[in-house]
Amino acid sequence: MKDINKIIGEMITHIPLCTHKDPKDIIIIDNFNIVKSQISQYNIKNIYYKTFEELLSTEFNTIDIIIINQRSPLDNQSISNIYNILKEDGLIIFQTDNFDDQNSKLINDLQLVNKFWIAMPTIFENQIFILASKKYHPQADIILQRSDFLNDLYYYNSDIQKASFTMPTYIKKRLLGISKN
């Protein structure tokens, strides 16, 4: 039987941490603490566990990665604050809604992160997240020397990471010009 929390925990942890060249400072917003068990495999200097409200109201030195495992009330102001918190090669991964022609939340969320060089949806086990990056591409810049040596994984591997950014044609066509691959 699939453990969806374990899958989400692995994917939202390892995708950004195996994409960023040298992550040292990370903010994690995770109501379920499913990232905590995965993060221990990395040599991270500073890990901050915060709420979404604390993310927007606390002064931070610049951050490499922000992981948001909850549906957050993202808007232009919060994304602008997040963009400013991130280092020049920083990235964020956050949850959004599944694609639906009638529901434009995924499209709106992609448009919110249009300042980023890369803004791509990733899908796994019917969950959709957006990875937005100032520098690194989650398919082209994956650190294989890191991803291939992770231990005790249930779901994540470097091939799954690459494949999780591949969308069905009907979604890909609808996101053309919105998603920044």
From first to last of its 181 residues, the chain has per-residue pLDDT tens of 578 889 999 999 999 999 999 999 999 998 778 898 899 889 899 999 999 889 888 888 899 999 999 877 899 999 999 999 999 999 999 999 887 755 688 899 999 999 999 999 999 888 899 999 999 999 999 999 999 999 999 999 999 999 999 988 988 898 999 999 8
67-91 core/surface letters (b: 16 or more CB in 10 A; e: else): bbbeebebeeeebeebeebbbebbb
Output the pLDDT for position 1.
57
CATH number, domain of 151, equals: 3.40.50.150
As a whole number of angstroms, the distance between CA 33 and CA 115 comes to: 29
Residue 133 maps to a domain? yes
Output the pLDDT for position 59.
85
Residue 65 maps to a domain? yes
| Domain span including residue 83 | 4-175
Residue 46 maps to a domain? yes
Residue 12 maps to a domain? yes
What's the domain count of the chain? Answer: 1
Residue found by looking up tokens 């964020």 in the block = 92
Residue 181 maps to a domain? no
